[in-house]
Amino acid sequence: MKSKALSLALVFILALSVLAVTHPRPAAAGQTLNTLTINLLFSEVKDRPARLTKIAKFAAQQKINGTPVDVILLQEVVGGVLVGTKNSAQDLRNLLAARGMTYYLSYRFEEGLPGVLMVGNAILSRYPILLTVTRTLPFVEYIHFEGIDFPIRRIVMMARLALKNKGRVNVYNTHLSSEATDADRLKQVQALLDFLENIEKNLPGDNPIILGGDFNTNLNFYKTMYQELITNHSFTDTYAVFNNCFSCCPPPDGADLSGCTYALTGNPYINPPGDMPQRLDYLLARSIADVVSSQVVFKSGTAGDPWVSDHSGVLSRVQLP
What is the secondary structure of 154-197 as a DSSP string? EEEEEEEEE-TTS-EEEEEEEE--SSS-HHHHHHHHHHHHHHHH
Alpha-carbon distance 169 to 129, whole Å?
A: 10
Question: Residue 181: CB partners within 8 Å, gap ≥ 6?
Answer: none
26-319: CATH homologous superfamily?
Answer: Endonuclease/exonuclease/phosphatase (3.60.10.10)
- pLDDT at site 29: 53
Q: What is the DSSP letter of 25?
A: P
How far is residue 160 CA from its own chain's centroid? 14
Per DSSP, the residues of 251-306 read TTS----TT--BS-TT-TT-SSTTPPPB--EEEEEES-SEEEEEEEES-S-BTTB-
The predicted model scores a pTM of: 0.90
- pLDDT at site 67: 96
Go through the chain and tell me how many residues it has: 321
Question: In b/e form, how buried is each residue of 52-88, taking b as 16+ CB within 10 angstroms?
Answer: bbbbbbbbbebbeeeeebbbbbbbbbbbbebbebebb
Instruction: Report domain extents, the chain.
Output: 26-319
**What residues does 283 pair with on adjacent strands?**
212
Angle CA 299–137–119, to nearest 5: 55
3-state secondary structure of 309: coil
Angle formed by the axes of helices 48-64 and 88-98, nearest 10°: 40
Alpha-carbon distance 33 to 171, whole Å?
A: 11
Alpha-carbon distance 181 to 37, whole Å?
A: 23
Helix (H) or strand (E) holding 80: none
237 in Cβ contact with 230 (< 8 Å): yes
- pLDDT at site 112: 83
Mean pLDDT per segment of 10 residues, for the chain of length 321 residues? 41 42 44 97 95 98 97 97 96 98 96 88 97 95 84 94 89 95 94 97 90 94 91 96 92 84 93 86 97 97 94 97 90
| Neighbour order of strands in the sheet with 290-297 | 104-113, 117-125, 71-79, 32-39, 313-319, 290-297
Alpha-carbon distance 156 to 192, whole Å?
A: 6
> What number of other Cβ atoms are within 10 A of residue 193's Cβ?
18
- pLDDT at site 108: 96
